Amino acid sequence: MRLLVAALITILPVSGAFAQMQPPIAAKRPHSFTHHGITVEDPWNWLKDPGYPKVDDADVLAYLTAENAYYTAQMAPVAALKDRLFEELKGRVKQDDASVPLPDGAFEYWWQFKPGDQYRTWMRRPKGGGAEQVVLSEPELAKGLGYFRLGAMRVSPDGKLAAYATDTDGSERFTIRIRDLATGKDIETVTRVSVGGVEWTADSRAIVWTEVNENWRRIKARLHVLGQTGEDRVLYEETEDKGFGVNTAKSQDGKWIIIATSDHVTSEVRLVPAANPTAPPILVKRRQAGVAYDVDVRGDRLFIRTNDDHVNFRVATAPLASPDQWTTLIAGSDRDYITGITAFTSYLAVQGRREGLDRIVLRRDDGSETVVPFTEAAYTASFSSGYEPDAPLLRINYASMVTPATVFDYDVKAGKLVTRKVQQVPSGYDPSQYESQRIFVTARDGAKVPVAIVYKKGFKPDGSGKLHLYAYGAYGIPSMPGFSANRLSLLDRGMAYAIAQIRGGDDLGYQWYLDGKLAKRTNTFNDFVDAAKGLVKAGWAAPGMISASGGSAGGELMGAVVNQAPEQFRAVVAHVPFVDVLNTMLDESLPLTPGEWPEWGNPITSKADFELIRSYSPYDQVKAQAYPPLMVTAGLNDPRVTYWEPAKWVAKLRDVKTDNNLLVFKTNMGAGHGGKSGRFAALEELAEEYSFILTQFGIKD
């Protein structure tokens, strides 16, 4: 007889902010496996539905439903605070927001929100003015759906059609449709198994799209000719390495469709003419383990960003006729990390970072360079490639911890920034009332970890304060010090907010990323704990008065740090946390596992990798100790971090931890990795998170 869930949801008298009741207890069922001569017990393995990605096991659903009921009951006493926070967050959202139009051919395009809408409406009008036209209405597409996401949308070169991709359950398997813009009607459905972008051929008669297989792996680039029946032609299929995934894009000049295949550290690029997509693909350079590169095209010249001879990347050029003959244009540098390039007609735009701060450099054919000027001590800045081959006005997105998101056009000829839009906060925001600092905390091995801090004036770093600490720390994804109107709800209640740029991200260069992965993965966790301790030592928070949050791989971070130093944290929020690392990396049938081995290691073939991953995997390292209050989330349809990872982690924590601190777990039963869709639905979930955090600090209004 299989025991389902014991002691489910009997409500006891309320005490304090949260209800006192018995949490769901997941049954322990004997299960073990042996690998490399090491036996691992895993009594909550049954929470993985054997029919995944379909989840219909009655026991699994009963447990998740019970946890959701417990979450609802526990959060009910703070509903008033949550509602206040939601109204605050919603009040900072400009209801009728719109983007700055971008030119493309005969039209200029933008998106807009109408008051009350959860989703964008995409618009266009003739250049120079004229009647506005709806290109695509997300609110119409989302009507009646519990979840909606627009994954891609491209207008055909002749301006008559739009190809768009939608996901309606969070599984990230997108349906591509073609819409006639004259009638506003869809004329055909291309596929229901796409992922990634959609690119048009030059004649507007076909699209190139990426196919995802049953294991959610991007395996093929296909060509769909409008009106064609039968199977779409395969332009490229990845057969060499099951850890590689295929992506498609278009060169800035619009003449080439770029088909890239890669894992996290190695890449290979092919080019097909947009005017003749069935021509034999041009291989730029054969893949070489550990060498990453990406490509743009201008005329008969390739521009390549690669780390083949410097860890921080160089920029090379090559003739289209001999694409593997690379000549250095911009040498790699210990100081400057090159993160992206776009080959506009009249210049090469280079995105990079110096000492962890974004940098945009424009390089002309004569070798002269212009650095776009930014003056704040900590900020984030990036450029948009736009739609057209050249950009005499380069679109730049800028923000800092105190400066709202700002859209500039950089006049390349005049060398001036022209402000096009500043994020409005309708309920009011005075940047002069807030301050930010960037400090460096010394980690236990001597590394200097940057931490950006923002706070309301009057906050004193005298060792008596409260602080929230955020980080990600994986895949070379940086945690940049940008603006968030949402976090004002914490700052205005007397808290400071800090972003730790820990190793595993590439904040300080590609080596910073390498120093937080594989055998050096524990540097990421140590950096976060040491940042928390350093902030306390510097007076930014009282001991034990730091809350923390992270999602996905950042959720793995949360799991690791509460195992290592639970006393450092007042409350922790882990969104869709990647916490069952060992089991996931051992299961090569899962969607992402083969492609993740270059990031975490391959415990199937390597005993050293097995032992290292087991030594930090949050689920495996849960121990009999006191843990801080925890909020954990999952998405039933999540293909990136499967729902059972947080479910198993929570079940083990409930069984092992020695404290009575609150542990709540919510699974979005109709969503995926990003939680609920829609701008206001997402704010409701954030309001829940903030109410959980604030209540743990004793802040009740």
Question: Where in the sequence numbering do the catalytic residues fall?
Answer: 552, 638, 673
- What phi, psi does 436 have (nearest 5°)? -140, 155
User: 93: which strand partners?
Assistant: none
Return the amino acid letter for 123: M
* 3-class secondary structure, 422: strand
Q: In whole angstroms, what is the distance from residue 522 CA to residue 562 CA?
A: 13
**476: its two tokens:** 């070379």
Strands of 213-321 (E only): list them: 218-225, 233-237, 245-250, 256-262, 267-273, 282-283, 293-298, 301-306, 314-319
Backbone CA torsion sign across 336, 334, 356, 287? positive
Under DSSP, the state recorded for 98 is B
Residue indicated by tokens 């409260």? 466
* CA-CA-CA-CA torsion sign (94, 100, 105, 106): positive
Q: What is the DSSP string of 147-199?
A: --EEEEEEE-TTSSEEEEEEESSSS--EEEEEEETTTTEEEEEEEEEEEEEEE
The phi-psi region of residue 594 (left if phi > 0; otherwise alpha if psi is between -120 and 50; otherwise beta) is: alpha
Residue type, 699: I
Residue 297 CB: number of other CB atoms within 10 A?
21
Helices (H), 476-521: 488-491, 510-514
User: In 38-121, where does DSSP find H-type helix?
Assistant: 58-75, 79-91
d(CA 650, CA 68): 12
Q: Are 184 and 134 in contact (CB under 8 A)?
A: yes
Distance separating alpha carbons of residues 540 and 695, to the nearest angstrom: 20
The verdict on whether omega for the bond into residue 53 sits within 30 degrees of 0, i.e. cis, is yes
Three-state SS for 330? strand
Q: What is the 3-state secondary structure (H, E, C) of 606-649?
A: CHHHHHHHHHHCCCCCCCCCCCCCEEEEEECCCCCCCCHHHHHH
Instruction: Evaluate whether 398 touches 422 at the Cβ level (below 8 Å).
Output: no
Tell me how crowded residue 46 is: count the other CB atoms within 10 A of its CB: 22
Q: Which SS3 state, helix, strand or coil, does residue 701 take?
A: coil
